[in-house]
Amino acid sequence: MALGKRVKDTDYIYAVARVKAVSNRLLSRSSVERMLDAPDVTEAAKVLQEAGWELAGRNYERMFAGELKSASGFVASLARQDGLFDAFLLRYDYQNVKVLFKSEMLGQEEVTALTDAGTVPPGVLQAAYREREYGKLPRRMGMAVEECLELFSKRRDPQQADMLFDRSCFMDMVDAAVETGVKYIRDLVAVMADTANSKTFLRARQIEAFPLRDALVDGGHISKDAFLRSAGEGLDVFLARLQGTPYSEIIEECAEELEKDGGMTLVEKQLDNYLLDFVGSARTLSFGVEPLIAYLFLKENEIRIARIILSGKQNAIPNALIEERLRNTYV
């Protein structure tokens, strides 16, 4: 039975009320501006502390990891059935297995950069990976690990392994989304695939002999064939194939930068903001699972904003350059 057959909008009235309460504590635009205006990284971090973040001294990565773990755990605790958020939490499982794979390839015994935000505790995933107990890994991950190990034994190309893990991750995300029976979740995974493939395609135009077919992921509203048929052609041909989709307008707005110097900063920002706008549209709903998912994504965006600003302050990067990399806020 599909998991989604047990999901009713009214099941989440209480959960949505709780999520809305914590969503109001996400960083506002004014808080972001205060961080940007802070004279140094310590003062910028104090803005986060005022917003309820737990500072871990100057170990900001530990702070970010703690915020993500807390948010994913909070949302998961509100779910009325197992697996409802797997379509999004699986990304962290795959992030962990990438770290484990790269550590093994580099001969590193100690692994410390694993996240607790996935569907499998990192210790369990690490033990299953090292013992080659692939049946204990989620969904297609075991097969992906086997393929990557075989691939790496023949061609020591970490980029190919990354691409294989990404393709496997999106296939698992699509399956998990379908199992929920929730249209919003299926559509959100599709938008994630479309934006990822659009970025990949636009980067590939700048790199000779880029393995585009290997880099594209499944699950989007735009077919992989549309990207592949546009390879080697002008940007106008690609835009013509995207007519009727929101991506055509986004990429057309950035065409001058793309054609002038191949710059990706603006188009990546606009594609990310489109994804965030899609997610954020669910914040105003009073029931259903959508506001829970929106909160998780917007929390991720908040962490990304905080990381960019603190890193910029630590490295004395001008505010104008920091702000170029920031995505929209929704409070």
Please report, in tens digits, the pLDDT of each residue of the chain (331 residues total).
Answer: 345 455 566 778 899 999 999 998 999 999 999 999 999 999 999 999 999 998 877 889 999 999 999 999 899 888 867 788 899 999 999 999 999 999 999 888 888 789 989 999 999 999 999 999 999 999 999 999 999 999 888 887 888 999 999 999 999 999 999 999 999 999 999 999 999 999 999 999 888 888 999 999 999 999 999 999 999 888 899 999 999 999 999 999 888 888 876 688 899 999 999 999 999 889 888 888 999 999 999 999 999 999 999 999 999 999 999 999 999 887 6
Q: List Cα–Cα distances, 57 to 41, 42, 46, 54, 60, in angstroms.
A: 12, 10, 11, 9, 8
What are the b/e assignments for 60-72, b being 16+ CB within 10 Å? beebbbbbbebbb
Same domain, yes or no, for 256 and 223?
A: yes
Same domain, yes or no, for 103 and 76?
A: no
Of the candidates 181, 207, 235, which is a domain's last residue? 181
Please tell me the total count of domains within the chain.
3
Same domain, yes or no, for 274 and 195?
A: yes
Instruction: Report the CATH number at residue 134.
Output: 1.20.1690.10
Integer-rounded Cα Rg, in Å, for the chain is 20
Of the candidates 249, 264, 285, which is a domain's last residue? 285
Of the candidates 118, 148, 181, which is a domain's last residue? 181
Same domain, yes or no, for 2 and 77?
A: yes
pTM, entire model: 0.91
Same domain, yes or no, for 128 and 160?
A: yes
Same domain, yes or no, for 268 and 299?
A: no
For residue 96, the enclosing domain spans: 86-181
Neighbours of 150 (CB within 10 A): 10
Same domain, yes or no, for 205 and 264?
A: yes
Same domain, yes or no, for 20 and 49?
A: yes
Same domain, yes or no, for 171 and 92?
A: yes
Same domain, yes or no, for 172 and 248?
A: no
Instruction: Report the CATH number at residue 323.
Output: 1.10.132.50
Same domain, yes or no, for 125 and 160?
A: yes
Same domain, yes or no, for 68 and 33?
A: yes
Q: List Cα–Cα distances, 9 to 4, 6, 79, 181, 272, in angstroms.
A: 11, 10, 12, 12, 28
Distance CA 111, CA 119 (A): 19
